[in-house]
Amino acid sequence: MSFKNSKILFYNAIKNCTLKYYSFNGRATRSEYWIWIIFTIVVGTLLGGVDITIGTYIEKESGDVIGLLSTLFHIIVFLPSFTVGIRRLHDVNKSGWWGRAVQKKVK
């Protein structure tokens, strides 16, 4: 795979996840799912660094830091992340309710 094709793959995966944020139907490929997950981790981390650099964060008594930009980003990508996870479950022939079962088990 050439570098140009990998850029197109990355762009298409982000575009699909963003545009299908409301769609629980269909399937998400393994690459689409993992590109989205890596994208949200990298951008969230970078925005956390920007929060610390420009001072748009709150430091709690426990030592935790909550950044304004990174928190807004994670609120925005919550629904697309949830739906791409459900569509990924469909791709491996599991019901979307498996996501809920795993969520209950983690708590």
What are the distances in angstroms from CA 27 to CA 35, 89, 95?
A: 15, 8, 11
Sign for the CA dihedral angle at 27, 37, 77, 9 comes to negative
pLDDT in tens, 35-81: 999 999 999 999 999 998 998 888 888 877 789 999 999 999 999 98
DSSP letter (8 states) at residue 58 = E
DSSP letter (8 states) at residue 57 = E
Q: Per the structure block, which two tokens stand in for 12?
A: 């298409």
Mean pLDDT for the stretch of residues 93-106:
63
Q: Is 100's pLDDT higher than 70?
A: no
CA distance 100 to 102: 5
For the chain, the C-alpha Rg in angstroms (whole number) is: 16
Which pTM does this prediction carry?
A: 0.76
